Structure 1
C-alpha cells in the first residue's frame, strides 16, 4: 500500500459538513485503509466574490492505481453535489490527490505532486499535521522547504469541534 495525501475543500452547502461526509466516504474506499485527517482550516477564496473555503488534508493507504483513485474521488465529489461548471468556481467539494507515495505522475488528468500545492497554505499547513517532518516530495522538494516559502497568511485553523458551528 502507498500513503496518499488528499486535499479537501468546500465553500458551498455547509462546507464543514461536506468535509465530514468526504472523510466518511474516504474511510470506505476499496483496497484502502483510513489513516487520518488534519484539522479544518478556513481561508478566503483565491478568486474575489466567492464564499470562504473550509479545507483539510486526509491521508489514506491504498492499493488503488492513481487513475482509479482519481475516478473514486470524482465519484465522491459528484455524490456530494459537485457540478463541474467552471474550473475555478465555487464548489460543494473538491478532492485533489496531493501526493501518491513517492510517485511523480504526469498524466493528462492527474499531476502529482499536485501542481499548485507549493503556493497554498491551506494545503501545506494541514498536510504538515499528518506528514512526517522529514517528508520529501517525489520532485525533491521537502515539505519543510515548501512551508518556509509559503507563509501562514490568511489561514484560520478552526478549533476542534468549531467546524460544526458553521
Structure 2
C-alpha cells in the first residue's frame, strides 16, 4: 500500500458539504482508505483572485492504486460531483489534487509529483502540515532542488 496526500477544495455551491462528500466518495473506493484528514481552512482564491473564498482540506490516504490510476479515480469523483473545467484557477464545485505519492518524483504529461505548485500555496501547506509536517518539508526541499 502506498501513502498519498490529497488536497480538496471548493468555492461555489456549499463548499464544506462538497468537501465532505468528496472525502466520503474517496473513502468509499475499494482501493483507498483515508488515514488522516485536516480541518477545513477558508482562504482567499489563488491565481485568479476575483472569486469567492475557498474551503480547503488535505487528506492522507493509503491506496493500492498507482499514481495515474489514482488520478483517474479522483477525476471521476470530480466529474460525478459536477466539476466543469472551464477556466484555469477559476471557481469550482470541487477540486481534488494529488499533492504527493509515497514521496515519489514523477514527471508525466498527465501528472507531476509532487504537485508543482504545492510549495507556493499556504492553503495546501497549512492543512498538510497539520497531518504530516515531514511531507511538507519534503515538498519544499524537492521544490528547491527542481527549480
Q: Same fold (TM over 0.5)?
A: yes
- For residue 126 of structure 1, give the secondary structure of its aligned residue in structure 2: helix
* Alpha-carbon shift at residue 102 of structure 1 (Å): 2.0
1:49 aligned residue:
50
Structure (1 or 2) with the greater helix fraction: 2
Partner residue of 1:32? 32
Distance 1:53 1:140 in 2: 23
Structure number with bigger Rg: 1
Q: Secondary structure at the residue paired with 1:9?
A: strand
Can you give the 5+ residue segments of structure 1 that lack an aligned partner in the other structure? 146-166
In structure 1, how many angstroms separate the alpha carbons of the residues matched to 2:8 and 2:32?
17
Structure 1 stretches of 4+ with a deviation exceeding 4 A read none
The alignment's TM-score, normalised by the length of structure 1, stands at 0.80
- TM-aligned CA distance change 1:84 to 1:140, over 3 Å: closer
For residue 29 of structure 1, report the CA deviation from its aligned partner. Answer: 1.8
Length-normalised TM-score, structure 2: 0.89
Question: For this pair of structures, how many residues does the alignment match?
Answer: 141
Q: Secondary structure, in 3 states, of the residue corresponding to 2:76?
A: helix
Aligned-residue Cα RMSD (Å) equals: 1.7
* Compared CA separation, residues 50 and 140, structure 1 to 2 (3 A): closer
Q: Is 1:112 aligned to 2:113, yes or no?
A: yes
| Residue 71 of structure 1: how far off its partner (Å) | 0.5
Gaps of 5+ in 2: none
